[in-house]
Amino acid sequence: MAENCLFCNIVAGAIPCQKAAETERILAFHDIHPQAPTHLLVIHKTHTASLSETEDATLLGELMTGVREVASEKGLTDYRLIINNGPQAGQTVFHLHAHILAGRPLHWPPG
């Protein structure tokens, strides 16, 4: 756990969230500023700052499996999966996380 990490503090229970799903290693919760009718964040409970900073294939696999399982549990068949990597890509919380966006047409290209 990184002491000053928002998501680590959510995992620790120090900051509340609206949980969507939870396992021993994965936590999914609703984004507080949703960009679609369904906007979930999926995180691994182990802190790693970004995609480019992790070399742990098991952690990455667990995160992607978590995304798939959360989407399935919520009945989502069409959704966009986003991982922002670094500040210029829009990453604002430096704890690796995936955004699941669904519930409206999502056009291409994004942003």
Active-site positions read 97
CB < 8 Å & 24+ apart, contacts of 5-11: 5/47, 5/93, 5/94, 5/95, 6/93, 6/95, 7/41, 7/43, 7/47, 7/93, 7/95, 7/97, 8/47, 8/95, 10/43, 11/43, 11/45
Question: Do 43 and 26 form a contact (C-beta atoms < 8 A)?
Answer: yes
